[in-house]
Amino acid sequence: MNKQHLHTVARVTAGSIAEELEIEAGDTLMEINGTKIEDIFDYQYLTQDEYIEVLIRKPSGEEWLLEIDKEYDEDLGITFENGLMDEYRSCHNKCIFCFIDQMPKGMRDTLYFKDDDSRLSFLQGNYVTLTNMSDDDVDRIIRYHLSPINVSFQTTNPELRCKMLNNRFAGQALEKAWRLAAAGIVMNGQIVLCKGVNDGAELERSIEDLSHYLPNLESVSVVPVGLSKYREGLFPLEPFTKEDAKQVLSTVHKWQDRVFSEYGLHFIHASDEWYILAGEKLPEEERYDGYLQLENGVGMLRLLMNEFQEALDAFGHTEGVIIPPRELSIATGKLACRFIKEMAEQVTALFPQITVHVYAIRNDFFGEMITVSGLLTGQDLSAQLMGQRLGEKLLLPQNVLKSGEPVFLDDMTLAELEKALQVRIDIVKSSGQDLLDAILL
């Protein structure tokens, strides 16, 4: 059997169907209903039915054909060594805005991997350009009705898209989005805006074209290109100005009003950076249509502030809780710092016995134009917080660390930073409730 069709069990959920049938870590999934499994799409589709037959091979070589009666869509409780159950597909484009091309040499290998895998779009919310998606991939998405799929459009001008992605097939790849929309596949879109390239009239064109995908294209985010200091030899791109940001927001708001009247969705959304750069207020919660694009920084600050305010209001009605005097600190990127300070001031106004120092960390590693907390490094945190008043603990947002590991982008560990700063560091999850708890409790 082809090696790519062998899928090794990593663990089995306690109390699951798999445990009851004595499937164990180290076993190999061979087939389901006589069909070889190519990837997670096949597995999830074939395990939906109420009756299935699963062929398992034990490490000894013994094969078990298991007949399983279960509820429709009931999970078997198996986690595989490779979550995708296939090789990851890398991106072969040379996009003019790609951030991975703007990273310094010498970082860990995984940071240089460019994914463009439609299966990761469904499973993890990654954005794909469609250029790496075959017609067979499109057929399988439609057949299995896998939604939502997240698409990096950048522009609907075929010639300009070829230029931006440095791929001569990038323009015709847009036809795959039409096929998905026509088949009822839900999509979310993204436009990485580059000054003088796909903004202005080109942005107007893209929004108008993409509005024809409604209602199956639920949302499109407009985010400014991230520019690091490592751009030597790359396509010349300039940062946006305050006036640029105001123009982008004017375009977005005009189309939001136009689309909402017909579909009840605001559809096109500007990421938080545009409002901060323009010096305009963040939209109210209703404008975000249920926060469909948080991972793109669309509404992240509004949600955080609303959650924080609700948590603070609820805490104010709690009786008998004694808050002792304390001093602590919070470090974040420049983008969110003003809002974090406002929330900290709300707390200290109610509880004057608490002192909170909020520090905006300048991104010296990637360059000052990078202002998000998720790209902060341990060495920048260490250098800029050394000698500052940090109090009994330092709070950091969880996105500064490698997913699931206490390691920063530059491979400095959390323990190393604690040792350098001589302070306890607490990692705070993304909700406003978590931030308030970290300050008060």
Ranges under pLDDT 50 in the chain: 1-3, 121
pTM of the model: 0.84
Residues 6+ apart with CB under 8 A from 125: 150, 295
Answer for the pair 355, 324: CB distance below 8 angstroms, yes or no: no
**Amino acid present at 270:** A
- Could you tell me the two tokens for 247? 């123009």
CA distances from 241 to 65, 195, 280 (A): 64, 10, 13
Q: Locate all alpha helices (DSSP H) within 199-299, ordered by sequence.
A: 201-211, 242-263, 272-278
> How crowded is the C-beta side of 161, counted as CA atoms within 13 Å?
21
Domains of the chain: 3-80 (2.30.42.10), 100-295 (3.80.30.10), 304-440 (3.40.50)
Give the pLDDT confidence score for residue 33 in this predicted structure.
94
Quote the crossing angle between the two packed helices 300-316 and 334-350, to the nearest 10°.
Answer: 10
Give the pLDDT confidence score for residue 86 in this predicted structure.
62
CA 21 to mean position of chain CA atoms:
36
Answer for the pair 117, 143: CB distance below 8 angstroms, yes or no: no
Q: How many angstroms separate the CA atoms of 273 and 282, rounded?
A: 10
Number of neighbouring beta carbons within 10 Å of residue 179: 14
Answer for the pair 331, 385: CB distance below 8 angstroms, yes or no: yes
